[in-house]
Chain A
Amino acid sequence: SQQGEEDPQALSIQEGENATMNCSYKTSINNLQWYRQNSGRGLVHLILIRSNEREKHSGRLRVTLDTSKKSSSLLITASRAADTASYFCATVRVLDTGRRALTFGSGTRLQVQP
Chain B
Amino acid sequence: GAVVSQHPSRVICKSGTSVKIECRSLDFQATTMFWYRQFPKKSLMLMATSNEGSKATYEQGVEKDKFLINHASLTLSTLTVTSAHPEDSSFYICSAGLAGIYEQYFGPGTRLTVT
Contacts and interface: CB of A to CB of B under 8 A. Distances in A.
Given A97-B57, A101-B49, A45 B103 contact: yes
A25 interface: no
Nearest to B111: A40
Contact of B102 (A31, A40, A88, A107): A31
B91 A40 contact: yes
Interface residues of A, number: 27
A109 B109 CA distance: 18
A100 B102 contact: yes
B43 A107 contact: yes
Interface of A: 2, 30-31, 33, 35, 40-45, 48, 88, 92, 95-97, 99-107, 109
A3 to B, nearest CB: 10
Contact of B43 (A30, A101, A104): A104
A99 B104 CA distance: 13
B105 A45 contact: yes
Contacts of B107: 42
B108 interface: yes
A80 B9 CA distance: 27
B49 A88 contact: no
A33 B101 CA distance: 12
B22 to A, nearest CB: 14
A92 B32 CA distance: 15
24 contacts: A2-B43, A30-B102, A33-B102, A33-B103, A35-B106, A40-B91, A40-B109, A41-B109, A42-B6, A42-B93, A43-B106, A45-B105, A48-B103, A92-B102, A97-B49, A97-B51, A97-B57, A100-B97, A100-B102, A101-B49, A102-B34, A104-B43, A106-B42, A106-B43
Contact of B44 (A31, A88, A97): A88
B19 interface: no
Contacts of A100: 97, 102
Contacts of A104: 43-44
B77 to A, nearest CB: 13
Interface in B71-115: 91, 93, 95, 97, 102-109, 111
